[in-house]
Amino acid sequence: MSAAEPVILLGAGGHAKVCIEVFRARGLFDPVACIDPYAKENNVLGVPVHRDEDSQRAFLDRGVKWGFVAIGQNSLRAKLGADLQISGFRLANAISPRACVSPSATLGRGILIMPGAVINAEADIGDHCIVNTNAVVEHDCRVGIACHVAPGSVLGGRVRLEDEVFVGTGASVTPNNVIGKGTVVGAAAAVISNIAAGVTVVGVPARPIIR
Ligand SMILES: CC(=O)SCCNC(=O)CCNC(=O)[C@H](O)C(C)(C)COP(=O)(O)OP(=O)(O)OC[C@H]1O[C@@H](n2cnc3c(N)ncnc32)[C@H](O)[C@@H]1OP(=O)(O)O
């Protein structure tokens, strides 16, 4: 078996912790550093933390080719992922060996798929997405760039998420619906119709929060 490829992670919080465990479980990549100028700890599960912003370049110079953004916030993850690629890194995927990913699904780059997640036939997952623990992305879904399908949530068949959509813990989206860019679906919501871009919806059925 060939050795795991070293990978640097941007981020050193709780989300980085779960990403490290998925990388280790899969065995294709070996997390060698977490880079985060705001880190509170000096290591994450034994992976050393670097706060210096030049350290990315230093790892590249040392021959580390792979990077990964381990940050939960969708728009920041998209931006830092694009920046990593511009600076010369390839984006690794962190796919749990305990996830079930259809052979006909299409995956982008910089994706996290957590244990128990199911990605069904011909689903398409965009770059920088998170499909979290026990989430289900059914057949023919189109999940845009930097979306987060949170733990236990379910997208029915042919659902489309535009870029940077967040679907909260335990929420469901019934088949064929489209959710607009940057929208937030609250925990436990049931989306039963199309939802516009840039809104927050909650409840059963899901409706925009009126502030
Ligand atoms: C591994 C991980 O942990 S991954 C991360 C997973 N995280 C999640 O799933 C978080 C999901 N987040 C939520 O559900 C949040 O409550 C949000 C984003 C929908 C709303 O958050 P905020 O914008 O801060 O709204 P806020 O808390 O002020 O609530 C506004 C109103 O909506 C209601 N509300 C908020 N969330 C929900 C919800 N999920 N379902 C029903 N009502 C809700 C509140 O009760 C409040 O009602 P009120 O005005 O009558 O008092």
The parent domain of residue 42 ranges over 5-92
Choice among 15, 50, 139, 148 that is catalytic: 139
Which is it for strands 200-202 and 207-208: parallel, antiparallel or unpaired?
antiparallel
The answer to whether 179 touches 165, Cβ cutoff 8 Å, is: yes
For residue 197, give both structure tokens. Answer: 């871009």
Most informative mutation of 15, 185, 195, 202 for ligand 1 (most atoms within 8 A of CB): 202
- What pLDDT does residue 2 have? 73
Which residues face 29 on adjacent strands? 5
Does residue 131 sit in the same domain as residue 163?
Answer: yes
- What pLDDT does residue 181 have? 98
Helical residues (DSSP H) of 29-143, grouped into ranges: 55-61, 74-86
Does residue 48 sit in the same domain as residue 115?
Answer: no
Does residue 21 sit in the same domain as residue 83?
Answer: yes
Domain of residue 9, CATH code = 3.40.50.20
15 is catalytic: no
At which of 92, 122, 141 does a domain end? 92
Does residue 83 sit in the same domain as residue 120?
Answer: no
Closest residue by Cα to atom 21, ligand 1, is 186
Q: What is the average pLDDT score of the chain?
A: 97
Distance, in Å, from the CA atom of 39 to the CA atom of 197, rounded to the nearest integer, reads: 32
pLDDT band at 186 (very low <50, low <70, confident <90, very high): very high
At which of 65, 92, 119 does a domain end? 92
Task: Check whether 166 has a pLDDT greater than 80.
Answer: yes
Residue 209: inside a domain, yes or no?
no
Closest residue by Cα to atom 49, ligand 1, is 211
Distance, in Å, from the CA atom of 118 to the CA atom of 101, rounded to the nearest integer, reads: 6
CA distances from 54 to 36, 50, 64, 127 (A): 11, 9, 14, 25
Helical residues (DSSP H) of the chain, grouped into ranges: 14-26, 55-61, 74-86
Task: Check whether 146 has a pLDDT greater than 60.
Answer: yes
For residue 103, give both structure tokens. Answer: 């052979």
Closest residue by Cα to atom 8, ligand 1, is 168
Q: What's the total number of domains in the chain? A: 2
Task: Check whether 1 has a pLDDT greater than 60.
Answer: no
Does residue 146 sit in the same domain as residue 126?
Answer: yes
Closest CA to 94 of 30, 1, 147: 30
Neighbours of 88 (CB within 10 A): 12
Please state the rounded mean pLDDT for residues 174-181: 98
- What pLDDT does residue 53 have? 78
pLDDT band at 139 (very low <50, low <70, confident <90, very high): very high
Does residue 140 sit in the same domain as residue 174?
Answer: yes
Report the separation in Å between the CA atom of 199 and the middle of ligand 1, taken as the mean of its atom positions.
Answer: 12
Please state the rounded mean pLDDT for residues 154-173: 98
| Residues whose beta carbon lies within 6 Å of some atom of ligand 1 | 132, 150-151, 168-169, 184, 186-189, 200, 202-203, 209
- What would the pLDDT profile of 21-78 be if each residue is shown by its tens digit? 999 999 999 999 999 999 999 999 999 999 997 899 999 999 999 999 999 999 999 9
